[in-house]
Amino acid sequence: MLLLLVDGSSGESMESWDVIVIGSGIAALRSAIAASDAGATVSVIGTNGPGSGQSMTGSTGFAASIAEADHIAHVENTASAGLGLTNSVVVEQRCSLATSHLIELERWGLNLQRNGSGSPYSAKAPGHTSPRLCCAGDSTGREIVRILEEQCMKRGIPRKHDLQVISICNESERIRGVVVLDIQTGVIAPIQGKAVILATDDHSGLWNDEGGSGLGSSLALRAGAKLSGMEFVSWYPFCVPTSNYRLPISLIDAGARLRTSNGDDVEITGSMTEISISLMEETHVLDARSVPKSQRGWFATTEQILASRFGIDIWTDVVPIEPQPDYAIGGVVVDDQGRALLSSNLWLTGLYATGGSSNSGMHGADTISGNRLLDDLIGGSNSGSSAAKWIGTVGFGGRDALEELAMISENHIETLSRSESGNTVGATIASLRRLMNSDMGLERKASSMSSCATKIEEMVQADIHLSDESVVMNTELIRALELQGMLALARTIVSAAEAREETRGSHRRTDYPEMNEKHSNALIVDAEGAITTLN
């Protein structure tokens, strides 16, 4: 239920919610459901439009130990891929709860592939020592989002897709709400909240044009939160060249084969990035011609997209593939409940982060199949439950601070929209992506990172020219705001990568090719690029 708090002097009301969730994917929706079920009033702000969360849900299914005696091997596989940088408490929690959350999704309507006994089918997947990947063919993430959207509707949770969050209000290390731009009207307004949960896409859009902008992480950084894991970006091996389309990894378990261009089979083992590295030296294809007809219906979307976009019949042709950056692991430093940490025993009160906005410690230095959806789902549930419990002990506040922040935001947007010179938004984003791919790709070295840092600072200082001065329905303005956040994140990525003088997981230094145990702690970075460790 929406609360309208009225200021006694002015009589003007301010929209207020117990919990404000920012995002539109699995982590955001699951957070909202958990907070609502715990009795909080909840509003979800997702600026990408209804159903947009279904397009950014990964290609690897959901990892759960449903065919094993316990989850211990799953914990060990996850920790092994993380190479000493996972949070053991979080990994144990996520892996132990995976099956119960999968059962909940099934109860809500998720239609999984099943084995002969009628139980959910567990597929083999790289990085796992046992079959553990539960899928609905190539639609797992999309189906989970659809089901969570239905659950939000049943609970009457409002979802707003016409608002762009500009700032988070931090008053003396206490979060008071957010400031938003109404895209339809151009009005900038504060929304009061006892707790804010950041659950947006990750920042993989720094490397590819279909990835997220990292809105949640950039908002948190500007509000005083700290980030970690920014030097790590997991790669995905099965991407169609010259595009960002990813083939579902469950095709391998269904009978598809990875082959060199001359037809030799290639063994698939290790983490996503390890597989990607093994494919770098020569051309490879995915051969799905031997997938039995009984399995092909689960990959109807893949079949349709390959045919319409690339003119490839997956069942009669081999599909050329290449590795590409996939999932940016880094984000807001959080504990197992999703609280944004400033130190080991202090949090930025009222701020939570989950999914692509957080670095929960689930992945460490690299990811394995199915753990991304697992972390989104359970991390979202924990954040929502924790936020709802915490808000019961506090009241609303910070009205003056919110109104002041709204004025600052309005002045910033006015200055941005009226710049008469500078580069266009599209050109700057394209330049940033080329820079990140060339200097901050799979292999890195000190000289190229130093050059990258200098060029990023030049982009930060350069003016951005908008062709449209209006603030009403101005998508170019929205992209310009996202660009500023992306540049801030790029600065932290380079800082963390320069500080990690070793090769570990998806962070590979050609000038430091070995893993060094003195770097076995997570690196914490703030808005200025300063590096510390959590203490």
Residue 102 belongs to a domain with what CATH number?
A: 3.50.50.60
Q: Give 110's pLDDT tier (boundaries 50, 70, 90).
A: very high
Residues 6 or more apart in contact with residue 201 via CB below 8 angstroms: 23, 25, 56, 211, 212, 213, 214, 215, 216, 356
Region 503-531: mean pLDDT is 94
196 and 310 belong to one structural domain: no
What domain count does the chain have?
3
Residues 6 or more apart in contact with residue 139 via CB below 8 angstroms: 301
249 and 364 belong to one structural domain: no
Quote the pLDDT of residue 47.
64
Region 424-439: mean pLDDT is 96
Asked whether residue 6 carries a pLDDT value surpassing 80, the answer given is no
Region 244-260: mean pLDDT is 94
209 and 261 belong to one structural domain: no
Range from 46-50, 294-298, 391-395, 444-448 carrying the lowest mean pLDDT: 46-50
Quote the pLDDT of residue 236.
93
Quote the pLDDT of residue 185.
94
Q: What is the pLDDT of residues 198-216, one digit of tens each?
A: 999 999 999 998 899 999 9
Say if residues 436 and 490 touch (Cβ distance below 8 Å): yes
Tell me the two tokens of residue 276: 């990607």
Region 230-239: mean pLDDT is 95
Region 401-412: mean pLDDT is 96
Q: What is the pLDDT of residues 49-102, one digit of tens each?
A: 655 544 444 567 999 999 999 999 999 999 999 999 999 999 999 999 999 999
310 and 347 belong to one structural domain: no
52 and 182 belong to one structural domain: yes
CA angle in degrees (0–180, nearest 5) for 208-211-215: 125
**Alpha-carbon span 16 to 169, nearest angstrom:** 13
138 and 198 belong to one structural domain: yes
Residue 463 belongs to a domain with what CATH number?
A: 1.20.58.100
End-of-domain residue from the set 375, 396, 417: 396
Q: Which of 293, 290, 263, 266 is nearest to 280 (CA)?
A: 266
End-of-domain residue from the set 325, 341, 371: 325
Helix (H/G/I), strand (E/B), else coil: 107: helix
Quote the pLDDT of residue 2.
46
213 and 267 belong to one structural domain: no
Domain that holds residue 252: 237-325
Quote the pLDDT of residue 8.
38
Q: Phi first, then psi: what are they for 138, rounded to 5°?
A: -95, 15
Does any domain span residue 1?
A: no
Region 111-121: mean pLDDT is 92
Does any domain span residue 331?
A: yes
**Alpha-carbon span 229 to 53, nearest angstrom:** 23
Q: Which of 256, 19, 279 is nearest to 123 (CA)?
A: 256
368 and 424 belong to one structural domain: no
Who has greater pLDDT, 352 or 421?
A: 352
Quote the pLDDT of residue 281.
85
- Cα–Cα separations (whole angstroms), residue 295 to 120, 188, 420: 15, 51, 57
Bridge partners (DSSP) of residue 174 are: 349
Quote the pLDDT of residue 535.
63
Does any domain span residue 529?
A: no
Quote the pLDDT of residue 417.
82
Quote the pLDDT of residue 242.
86
Region 341-368: mean pLDDT is 95
Amino acid at 493: I
Amino acid at 240: V
Residue 292 belongs to a domain with what CATH number?
A: 3.90.700.10
**Alpha-carbon span 416 to 420, nearest angstrom:** 9
Does any domain span residue 530?
A: no
Q: Give 270's pLDDT tier (boundaries 50, 70, 90).
A: confident
Does any domain span residue 533?
A: no
181 and 284 belong to one structural domain: no
Does any domain span residue 8?
A: no
3-state helix, strand, coil in the chain (%, to 5): 40, 20, 40
210 and 261 belong to one structural domain: no
Query: In percent, how much of the chain has pLDDT > 90?
Result: 85
Tell me the two tokens of residue 307: 């045919």
Tell me the two tokens of residue 421: 């010179």
Query: In percent, how much of the chain has pLDDT > 70?
Result: 95
End-of-domain residue from the set 277, 309, 325: 325
Quote the pLDDT of residue 49.
63
Does any domain span residue 6?
A: no
212 and 356 belong to one structural domain: yes
Quote the pLDDT of residue 10.
46
Range from 266-270, 305-309, 440-444, 456-460 carrying the lowest mean pLDDT: 266-270
Quote the pLDDT of residue 261.
87
HSE at residue 155, side-chain half, CA atoms within 13 A, is: 25
Q: What is the pLDDT of residues 145-172, one digit of tens each?
A: 999 999 999 999 999 999 999 999 999 9
390 and 320 belong to one structural domain: no
Does any domain span residue 526?
A: no
Quote the pLDDT of residue 366.
95
Q: What is the pLDDT of residues 325-338, one digit of tens each?
A: 999 999 999 999 99
